[in-house]
Amino acid sequence: MISKNLTAASTKPIILGILKQGNSYGYLIIKKIKEISGGRMKYSDGMLYPVLHRLEKEGLIKSNWAMENDTKPRKYYEITNEGKEALVTEKEQWQQVTAVLNEVWEINPSNNN
Amino acid sequence: MFNLEGAIKDWLRQFRKHKAFNHGSVREMELHLRDHIEDLIASGHSQQKAFDLAVDEFGEIPSMAREEFQNIKTKRTFLSIIDITMLSNYLRIGIRNFTKQPFFTTLNTFGLAIGMAGGLLIALFIYDELSFDRMFSDADRIYRINIDNQTSGEYSQYASAPGPMADVLHQDCPQVELVTRFREVGSTLMRKPDATLNVKEAYVTGADSAFFEMFGIELLDGNKNTALKQPKSLVLTESVAKKHFGDEKALGKSLLLDDTEEYVVTGVMADLPKNSFLRNHGVYISLSSYKDEHTPAWNTWYFPTFVKLKPYTNAEDLQAFLDTVKERYLIPWAMTFVPGLTIESSRAADKESGNFMKFNTTALTDIHLYSSNREGEFSANSDMQNVYIMSFIGFFLLLLASVNFMNLSTAQSLKRAKEVGIRKTLGSNRLGVIRQFLTESFLISFLSLWLAILIALIVMPFFNELSGKSIAIPFEQPIFWLLLILATFFLGLFSGSYPAFFMSRFIPAHVLKGSLSNVGGGKIRNSLVVFQFAIAVFLIVSTLVVFQQVNFIRNKDLGFQKDQILVIDDIYAAGNQLESYREKVKQLAQVESVSLSSYLPTPSSRGGTTYFSEGAIEDETFKSEKAMIIEEWDIDYDYITTLGLEVVAGRGFDKKFGTDSAGIILNESAVVMMETTPEKVLGTRLTKDIHREDKENTEYFTVIGVVRNFHFETLRNRIAGLTMVLGGKPNKMMVKLSGGDFHSTISSLEKTWKEVAPGQPFNYYFMDESFNETYRAEQRLGSIFTIFTMLSIFIACIGLFGLAAFNAEKRTKEIGIKKVLGASVRTITYQLSIDFLKLVMVAIIVALPLSWYAMNQWLQDFSYRIEISWLTMVIAALLAIVISIVTVSYQSIKAAIVNPVNSLRSE
């Protein structure tokens, strides 16, 4: 199980990443995260929405209501160019974190006496 | 049976508690939950199980709300703060509240309106003061040349320059684009050659042909390029032309001046604006009409000279040039007739004696406010100090009104505490409450604005009378309305802010429980009352001091008799009949004595004459540092007795002595300038005859008497040196009358005048009137102070009255119980009033030292002034106390006499 803090920290790149693959709405996004993480990332579904709204306010994503097959209206989110740039930055940062962690954890016997 | 729809509805209701979610968000959540439930049902869960799981996975709503709120908080815009949708509700509640509280609303509106009306009048006054002379084209590049001169300890400032200055500037100062020169001319009698009656024009000046170009003045009739070129030509303003020629065309017509010379009207121009330095002058005589037009003499200080600088040059360069003028031009000129004078010797002499003569400039637009005391000003100027004083009064008037509003509103708020509590319980937040109260204060402000405009309109004629202006409210100017509305908006915001923030702080649980006394704000209300009364006391002291000073000046022993002296102007019009007129006047019953002279002991522009005492001549040359430039008055044998001047040494002029035409009389200041005493100075010989080649024939005057100093300038100035000699061309007759009714004497004087000088106007006035005219500025200040002091006291009283009413109401039950227990009306009245009196006392303690200091500063301007006595302070304090007692006691007594049955019934 991934910790709450780490989950929260990774929400932004995850949402942006998912939206980069195509427009989506709240319920689908959370469903996808759960699928990909195989249930290892535990979310309260509701906490997704403030994040979505914040990203929208920051201009990284935008939204519009749409009717699909004359069923229910859905609020679709779409990544903006700014959002794509932000995603690149996030990606680099996460890779750097991973790289640092790898370095630290790669046990070197000569240093470990 | 589980009701899914009902469950979802219940769940959604939780969101409404949090204002973080707008309708769209809630809808989004709902769809999310429904999607999830559908999926769960599809995978085989029951409705209830699916709902429980979905809700569980959705998580806690409060923590989500907190997150979401972060998004919303900073999203506020101007419109969202005003909350347009609620505005009509705020307005409705506001109006309902006003009609429910007519007493407070009226007090509030009136208090504010009076303050605003005062503020509006003052703002217009200040605007007018600051607008002087700005209408002339290139006003920012025009400067007037001045002289600052100190000779023998006598300092004088002139608003004019020597005759040759204009040419020098024109030829040698590279920064100068244009120069124009005026020449001082006294009042002049004018008539059409065929008319019999002369009309006196008091404001006549000589002007050269550059005049029109300098000030950008166009002629209505005539050619401005040639109008002032030829000798014996003159230009009139429209109103003067109308006075002499009626509806006839004035151009090309002749006018006879002083019954001697005929001039041709070569131009007519529009009357100059009321806020220009030339506002009074209606007759402009071509400078070429005067013999001294091209005078080379640098002691001709009666040519007001204006220069227009080239664009992008600055006044410092002009000043730098002026600093060289004395040594470059003036001294070389003086060297032609003062043997032995060199630039070095003049420098050394100045250094030794402390004498100096400097040229400097006043910007055209500064003339009205920064040039009040110079000699030879075209019109009486104002002083920047008045603008500051008025701004100060205006500011405090508005502040008082505003504070009043705050006070009354917060006091009233206790009654509205429940309203606030209920608003808040029903979901209004603090901002909503603030909006409500600000809306109300804006409403009152704009209501007051209309009332204020109405008041200003009604008061304007009186205000103009008082301030000697002709201000109109500029209704037709959009900028005026814009500023007015903007100012009202800010006043509303300022006045409403404290009550709004104060009331929005109420905690519903407290105020709804009914504990009104918890609401508080009393301390601030009290300090506001203190503040108001401090200002009122300050203004009372100021008014008293101004009036005492004016009275002091009026009643001060001036060293001469100003009462019962009738002055007849322009007596030279009688020509050779003058002596016979004098004899006839002397024979009138009420006449005690008669004197002929041009010089009155009242302030006016008089030139200086350069005198040397015999001792100041060494080796047949005059030592310039010993020169005395002092006024010389031409008087007659009866002058000293008519004016009741006191001779302290020697004697006055007397017909018995044939030699008195070579005699001279000094005042004490002149004796001091000569560094001697009245007794010793008798017999000293003085001369002003310094230009002659044959020094042995120099004409001397012998000092035959010294008169006690008398005030011939305003009491702002020290008494300057003065000489008096016999002779001159008198233009005034002073008639000293004995007491009684003057009417018959005046009509006999006029009748006799008509006999000796038919067709000449009979202009007369009493000297004390002319004297009062001199102190018009102080009197105006006094009247303006009184009016605004009364206004501010009135506003403060409205506030106090309202507070007292509120206080009495708040304590109704307490009073009722006290009365039941046997308290008398007197005790209760006393108890209710004493609280306010304490505040007024504090205000007095604060205001007295401040006002003492400020008024002392003001008095420094007067050479002769009163001391502010403690009595003034006591009177001011008592006045404030009495006024506040009267204000408060009405409410207190009203509350105290109420039958306790009525006040306690509701309990």
What pLDDT does A112 receive? 46
**Under an 8 A CB cutoff, do A53 and B60 touch?**
no
B520: left (phi over 0), alpha (psi -120 to 50) or beta: left
| C-alpha to C-alpha distance for B382 and B374, rounded to whole angstroms | 12
List the alpha helices (DSSP H) in B376-521: 384-425, 430-467, 478-504, 508-513
B interface test, pick of A49, A61, A75 with most B CB neighbours within 10 Å: A49
**Under an 8 A CB cutoff, do A46 and B28 touch?**
no
Residues 6+ positions from B203 with CB-CB distance below 8 Å: B187, B280, B281, B282, B283
Place of tokens 């009604």: B458
B58 touches chain A (CB under 8 A): yes
Q: Once rounded to an integer, what is the mean pLDDT over residues B281-288?
A: 93
For the beta carbon of residue B862, count every other beta carbon within 10 angstroms: 16
What pLDDT does B387 receive? 87
| C-alpha to C-alpha distance for B159 and A75, rounded to whole angstroms | 81
Closest CA to B377 of B281, B464, B468: B281
Could you give the C-alpha distances from B326 to B147, B163, B299, in angstroms and in order?
11, 13, 12
Residues 6+ positions from A93 with CB-CB distance below 8 Å: none
Distance from CA of A66 to the nearest CA of B (A): 12
In angstroms, how far is CA B366 from the centroid of its own chain?
15
Per the model's pLDDT, the better-predicted residue between B518 and B121 turns out to be B121
Which residues of B fall within a CB distance of 8 Å from A43? 59
What pLDDT does B372 receive? 67
Q: Rg of the Cα trace of chain B?
A: 39
Kindly report the average pLDDT of chain B as a whole number: 84
Structure tokens at B578: 């003058």
For the beta carbon of residue A35, count every other beta carbon within 10 angstroms: 9
Tell me the percentage of chain A whose pLDDT exceeds 90: 13
| C-alpha to C-alpha distance for B891 and B208, rounded to whole angstroms | 71
B interface test, pick of A29, A53, A65 with most B CB neighbours within 10 Å: A53
**Under an 8 A CB cutoff, do B25 and A49 touch?**
yes
**Under an 8 A CB cutoff, do A54 and B34 touch?**
no
What pLDDT does A113 receive? 42
Which residues of A fall within a CB distance of 8 Å from B63? 44, 47
| C-alpha to C-alpha distance for B785 and A31, rounded to whole angstroms | 80
What pLDDT does B783 receive? 81
Residues 6+ positions from B526 with CB-CB distance below 8 Å: B839
Which residues of B fall within a CB distance of 8 Å from A53? 25, 68, 71
| C-alpha to C-alpha distance for B894 and B883, rounded to whole angstroms | 17
Q: What is the full DSSP assignment across B236-254?
A: EEHHHHHHHHTTS--TT-E
**Under an 8 A CB cutoff, do A27 and B31 touch?**
yes
- Judged against a pLDDT cut of 70, whether residue B39 lies above it is answered with yes
Q: Which of A82-86, A107-111, B391-395, B691-695 has the lowest mean pLDDT?
A: A107-111
What confidence tens digit (pLDDT) does each residue in B664-719 have?
999 898 888 888 888 888 888 888 877 666 666 778 888 899 999 888 877 767 78
Which residues of A fall within a CB distance of 8 Å from B27? 73
Tell me the percentage of chain B whose pLDDT exceeds 70: 93
Which residues of B fall within a CB distance of 8 Å from A35? none
Q: Which of B525-529, B603-607, B710-714 has the lowest mean pLDDT?
A: B603-607
Tell me the percentage of chain B whose pLDDT exceeds 90: 20
Which residues of B fall within a CB distance of 8 Å from A45? 32, 36, 54, 57-59
B77 touches chain A (CB under 8 A): no
Nearest C-alpha in B relative to A53? B71
Q: Name the pLDDT band for B154 (thresholds 50, 70, 90).
A: low
B43 touches chain A (CB under 8 A): no
What confidence tens digit (pLDDT) does each residue in B897-907 have?
888 887 777 64
Task: Give the β-pairing of A24-25 and A73-79.
Answer: antiparallel
Residues 6+ positions from A68 with CB-CB distance below 8 Å: A74
Q: Residue B198: helix, strand or coil by DSSP?
A: coil
| C-alpha to C-alpha distance for A43 and A35, rounded to whole angstroms | 12
**Under an 8 A CB cutoff, do B59 and A45 touch?**
yes
Q: Name the pLDDT band for A106 (thresholds 50, 70, 90).
A: confident
What confidence tens digit (pLDDT) does each residue in B823-851 have?
888 888 888 888 888 888 999 999 999 99
B interface test, pick of A27, A30, A31 with most B CB neighbours within 10 Å: A27
What pLDDT does B622 receive? 63
Distance from CA of B56 to the nearest CA of A (A): 8
- Judged against a pLDDT cut of 90, whether residue B578 lies above it is answered with no
Per the model's pLDDT, the better-predicted residue between B746 and B555 turns out to be B746
What pLDDT does B69 receive? 72
Q: Name the pLDDT band for B133 (thresholds 50, 70, 90).
A: very high
**Under an 8 A CB cutoff, do A45 and B35 touch?**
no
A interface test, pick of B15, B18, B28, B76 with most A CB neighbours within 10 Å: B28
- Judged against a pLDDT cut of 70, whether residue B262 lies above it is answered with yes
**Under an 8 A CB cutoff, do B71 and A53 touch?**
yes
Closest CA to A83 of A16, A15, A10: A16
Q: Once rounded to an integer, what is the mean pLDDT over residues B412-439?
A: 80
What confidence tens digit (pLDDT) does each residue in B193-212 have?
888 788 888 889 999 999 99
Give just the sign of the alpha carbon dihedral B17, B22, B27, B28.
Answer: negative
| C-alpha to C-alpha distance for B858 and B557, rounded to whole angstroms | 22
Q: Name the pLDDT band for B450 (thresholds 50, 70, 90).
A: very high
What confidence tens digit (pLDDT) does each residue in A28-66 have?
888 888 888 887 777 778 888 888 888 888 888 988 888
Closest CA to B759 of B190, B15, B52, B238: B190
For the beta carbon of residue B817, count every other beta carbon within 10 angstroms: 15
- Judged against a pLDDT cut of 80, whether residue B43 lies above it is answered with yes
Q: Once rounded to an integer, what is the mean pLDDT over residues B132-152?
A: 88
Q: Name the pLDDT band for B623 (thresholds 50, 70, 90).
A: low
Per the model's pLDDT, the better-predicted residue between B612 and B327 turns out to be B327
Residues 6+ positions from A73 with CB-CB distance below 8 Å: A65, A66, A67, B27, B31
B64 touches chain A (CB under 8 A): yes
Count of CB pairs separated by less than 8 Å, A with B: 61
Structure tokens at B396: 């405090």
- Judged against a pLDDT cut of 90, whether residue B654 lies above it is answered with no
Q: What angle do CA B478, B479, B485 make, to 5 degrees?
A: 90
Could you give the C-alpha distances from B42 to B309, B412, B851, in angstroms and in order?
94, 64, 88
Distance from CA of B29 to the nearest CA of A (A): 8
Q: Which of B271-275, B330-334, B558-562, B903-907 has the lowest mean pLDDT?
A: B903-907
Distance from CA of B68 to the nearest CA of A (A): 5
Q: Name the pLDDT band for B147 (thresholds 50, 70, 90).
A: very high
**Under an 8 A CB cutoff, do A45 and B70 touch?**
no
Q: Residue B180: helix, strand or coil by DSSP?
A: strand
**Under an 8 A CB cutoff, do A57 and B75 touch?**
yes
For the beta carbon of residue A79, count every other beta carbon within 10 angstroms: 23
B38 touches chain A (CB under 8 A): no
Q: Which of B34, B60, B68 shows the shortest C-beta gap to A44?
A: B60
**Under an 8 A CB cutoff, do A46 and B60 touch?**
yes
| C-alpha to C-alpha distance for B528 and B535, rounded to whole angstroms | 11
Distance from CA of B4 to the nearest CA of A (A): 18
